[in-house]
Homo-oligomer: A and B are copies of this chain.
Amino acid sequence: MNIALAQLNYIIGDIEGNTEKIIGEINRAKSQQVDLVVFSELAVCGYPPKDLIDYPSFIERCELALVEICQATENIGVLLGGPAWSGLERGKKLFNSAYFYKDKKLLRRVDKTLLPSYDIFDEYRYFQPNEVFECIDFMGEKIAVTICEDLWNIDTEKYYKVTPMDELIKQNPTVMINLSGSPYSYNHVEKRRNRMKRNAKSYSLPLFYVNQVGGNTDILFDGGSMFINADGDIVEECGFYKEDFKVIQWASDKPYPDNHEDYYDYDIGLIHDALVMGVRDYFGKIGFKKAVLGSSGGIDSAVVHAMAAEALGAENVKAITMPSKYSSTGSEDDAKKLAENLGSPFSNISIRKAYDAFEDTLADEFAGVAPNVTEENLQARSRGVILMAYSNKFGHIVLNTSNKSESAVGYSTLYGDMCGGLSVIGDLYKEQVYELARFINRYGEVIPYEIVNKEPSAELRPDQKDSDSLPPYPILDKILFHYIEGKKGWKEIVALKEEGLDETLVRKIVKMVDRNEYKRFQASPTLRISHKAFGTGRRMPIVAKYNH
């Protein structure tokens, strides 16, 4: 039989638009003699719909869309994800389901068993777990249908008590199909491939795996849908960060040799593509075209500028450099050169007048009190006001240019350089930002070498360098990684012999991370590329007293 993997980019909540897209692919599949076309998890409403799903009217609209999709299934099998009323007297009101249609009829509904509720996931908030396991007979094959997480409970340490395939295998299925909504984070592509290969191998069954693609605010779905043979080899794989449609001629008795080559073996390239897609989808899905950013002549804004130019077109990215009396002319020139290299509109708007006005306005109130961080923040906030004014005036979205290292330790100004509609590199440690800059320059200078090579500075005081108040970034990033991604307390970090990190320093950094929870609470959404990004996936109390 011919099975199609339909890897699409959905807009959350745009049920009518998603339905139109799905029916379009069903018709495409028909024209290619496909017997069964498979879509991803919760395709009809897009994943993750979050609390939209709490609105009964939202579920009703999904139901209407499913009726419409059902009507389009004459002579073809269609398997797609959508919510379903559970109808239970005891338990939650909804299931996260897969609908199997054929010839305008619902052949079977399969409900998701394992509901992830860690990191960015929240599915137990909405759904009741399935407890019934039954394969689906279709064209002489017996199909074991599962939904995303259902195939992930195969480690020695199991997160869930049930492993759905262990139940389904008892009915002797001939093939597995999994509908996923599996987001990217670095290493996750390999992790996901390996996990799915192990499923195929351990159950000795081929696996059709369909993921969605696209950026949904902060969460980036990479795609990479695949067909894996019963030996656990990837036979076909869809593209990353783009929609794809692959038809596979499949029969249960035919061998499928491994002829697949990895698209990506360079991880920073995947991160780059993820972020570019993230920016493009953030703007595209809400109908915005233009971005504005503060271009300081430093590495962070340069990397954001270059990727935004790739995502939106350089002419749609306005760069504004906003010098103060502490800015070096070098910085202004570098920012300008970057805009020229990329071909972006550029302005130089000094914050001196605004800064002087605030100093003057506050002179009485602050009389006799020594300058402190207040004056540095005044500069950052004056810049924030200018960027937001530009945004308001011309309808550009402000891109935030903070990185994860500085968000972590609070080396940033709330409502100043923390402003923006979207943080592009907020989940990249400083060292990764440099790596990304080198990747962007892989074919030659895009980001001026002066920017890549200069020592990091916020330029908010005379001759200020980041290293005045922070340890060198390679050390800082290491501590942060162990604390944030590694969930180690300071004692455990200090105990890591291979790192040789100083106790006083580790404790200081860990405390800085804890203390700045209140700032990050008000940060913009941040494109997620790690497995522990600030934001949705990391929920710390603000008012608390702890010392990991």
Which residues of A does B touch, CB under 8 Å?
Answer: 11-15, 17, 46, 48-52, 54-58, 89-92, 117-118, 122, 124-125, 157-161, 215-217, 281-282, 285-286, 347, 349-351, 353-354, 356-358, 360-362, 365-366, 369, 372-374, 377-378, 381-382, 384-386, 388-390, 392-394, 414-415, 419, 421, 487-489, 491-492, 518, 521-525, 538-546, 548
Chain B nearest CB from A352 CB (Å) reads 8
In the complex, the answer to whether B354 meets A350 with C-beta atoms within 8 Å is: no
Chain B nearest CB from A121 CB (Å) reads 9
In the complex, the answer to whether A378 meets B374 with C-beta atoms within 8 Å is: no
Please indicate the chain B residues that have their CB under 8 angstroms from the CB of A491 in the complex.
Answer: 57
In the complex, the answer to whether A393 meets B414 with C-beta atoms within 8 Å is: no
A351's contact among B89, B92, B361, by CB below 8 Å, is which?
Answer: B361
A389's contact among B89, B356, B358, B525, by CB below 8 Å, is which?
Answer: B358
CA distance A538 to B365 in the complex (A): 40
Most buried by B among A117, A356, A384, A390: A117
CA distance A49 to B392 in the complex (A): 39
Given A90-B161, A118-B125, CB of A12 within 8 Å of CB of B544 = yes
Most buried by B among A160, A281, A366, A539: A539
Given A48-B541, A385-B381, CB of A546 within 8 Å of CB of B365 = no
Which residue of B has the minimal Cβ distance to A286?
B543
In the complex, the answer to whether A350 meets B361 with C-beta atoms within 8 Å is: yes
Please indicate the chain B residues that have their CB under 8 angstroms from the CB of A524 in the complex.
Answer: 521-522
A217's contact among B50, B91, B541, by CB below 8 Å, is which?
Answer: B541
Please indicate the chain B residues that have their CB under 8 angstroms from the CB of A518 in the complex.
Answer: 421, 525
CA distance A58 to B491 in the complex (A): 12
Q: With A48-B541, A522-B523 given, name 15 new contacts (CB 8 A).
A: A14-B544, A14-B545, A49-B544, A50-B539, A55-B488, A117-B117, A118-B125, A349-B365, A351-B361, A365-B390, A366-B393, A369-B393, A381-B388, A381-B389, A525-B542
Please indicate the chain B residues that have their CB under 8 angstroms from the CB of A57 in the complex.
Answer: 488-489, 491-492, 548
